[in-house]
Chain A
């Protein structure tokens, strides 16, 4: 009798401690987000005087003002187009390459992979100027395609690295079965490898979406046309040279953070659920 009670209470205590731990970390994560949202609902002079978290003002018009003054409509669309194109491009290109590095044999595969790895590790300072001049020569400078290609390159190395690591661990039976069934290499990649890689693909999608969505300096340097600018560049207009309109800025930042949170919400269940579904018992 005593033993059962002991184990039961021990379990309760341990679980409570775990919950306390999780909740305290969650609070530190939530606080800044709440602060951002509450600040976006205040007016410029109140934002510094009133430092409590409890909202006294609900200036929802800050959001519509931010949207209009920042010209968010067009820029928001641009950001979505860029993010979707780049992520799509990276998923296809990097998974094909990672699959090849992992499963296919060809001359120079080892060295090519090392080059990609090295690229991941060596940042290039001042690459903006180089890319500007390069795109200029290719007549792709003030075009969305030029920007999209540059951004695909940015995420390529890390995505290939993540995917190859996963493909290396993938059991070969399913692929062998498909090959016996007469599937082409491309078919195996599309029908076998990719579905199994869903969790890693989800990480790749979230990672690259975040990178592209938050990027602004390359866009600002490459584009001369307001029409092509992504959202982050429009946001900078609130961080004026001398005056910072904090509530509008916070509203703008909240608007910017929302789509990425949505992407994450959509993807995160693949990362975890997909893994347990796809877990292949040896």
Chain B
């Protein structure tokens, strides 16, 4: 009886596991073992080099670690600026205000647009030579002419500008999930707090935040995973790796695959990348378990 029950339970996961095994595990194993070879992606022969690729990544590949650093920087900005903005907007829309539905739709337009379009349009908005220079004009018009700058062509500001555009594209998701979460908090709790004489700030701190923490962790994990893999946006905004200033891991992997025809090395880079992502997500997950 128990065995039958156990078997019954397997049926629930069978389709998922089957598809997963075929379409993820098999390619994964293939790519994983390729990291141990030197291969150009074309020939039918490969050269086994053991852990050589990994050694090269760890010890010699400065451009790889620079790309990881850049991606982490963008992710950090996303975790802070983007998610705080999303939370504030969700909180503002959670209250009883007019035009709630209008905002809910508008804020989700950026995620819907493809990265290519977003890059093209923002490049047009920011650049002055091949664009309309709107940002600088606005800054000058608002009385801050000394802030005018070549946001995308100056190597010092390019990465931050890219990070901000990415935040613009991404906050819609966080907004949606936060809003859904905020709406699950029963209104009665706020009522009770108000009756007890709590101020708006106190009820926010003692009711809203604690109940939202699991959702914040969820959004944080998804943000990290999504942002570390950004790359299309970078190509459409700054044309490429900008002498390393806007280099990101996925672009480096693509460069190894296509530019240098080193498929095996690209796989090794991919595995290294995966390990870092797993480590970060694991830490976040553990952190969330503690706070439950």
Contact = CB atoms under 8 A, between A and B. Distances in A.
Contacts of B9: 100, 104-106, 109, 185
Contact of A131 (B23, B109, B270): B23
A33 B225 contact: no
Contact of B111 (A19, A104, A127, A210): A210
A60 interface: no
Nearest to A135: B23
Contact of B225 (A121, A125, A149): A121
A130 B31 contact: yes
B129 interface: no
A260 B8 CA distance: 37
Contacts of B30: 130
Nearest to A152: B19
Interface string B206-222: 00000000100010001
Given A131-B23, A134-B23, A279 B104 contact: no
A272 B180 contact: yes
Q: Taking chain B's interface residues, is the majority helix, strand, or loop, or is none over half, making it mixed? A: helix
A214 B113 CA distance: 9
Given A125-B253, A275-B183, A118 B278 contact: yes
Interface residues of B, number: 78
A127 B214 CA distance: 33
Interface residues of A, number: 78
A122 B277 contact: yes
A119 interface: yes
Interface string B1-41: 00000101110110111011011101110110000000001
Nearest to B108: A264
Interface in A87-128: 92-94, 96-97, 99-101, 104-107, 109, 112, 115-127
Interface string B257-288: 10000010011011101110110010000000
Contact of A29 (B6, B88, B109, B273): B109
Contact of B19 (A26, A31, A127, A149): A149
A264 B105 contact: yes
Contacts of B22: 134, 149, 153
A241 to B, nearest CB: 16
Contacts of B99: 22
A253 B115 CA distance: 11
B19 A134 contact: no
18 contacts: A21-B88, A22-B103, A33-B113, A94-B16, A100-B9, A109-B9, A123-B274, A125-B250, A125-B269, A129-B41, A149-B23, A152-B19, A153-B19, A153-B20, A189-B12, A271-B176, A276-B184, A279-B184
Interface of A: 15, 18-19, 21-22, 25-26, 28-33, 35-36, 51, 92-94, 96-97, 99-101, 104-107, 109, 112, 115-127, 129-131, 134, 149-150, 152-153, 156-158, 160, 162, 165, 169, 185, 189, 199, 203, 210, 214, 253, 256-257, 260-261, 264-265, 268, 271-272, 275-276, 279, 281
Would you list the 4 A-B pairs with minimal beta carbon distance, nearest first? A122-B274, A100-B12, A130-B27, A153-B23
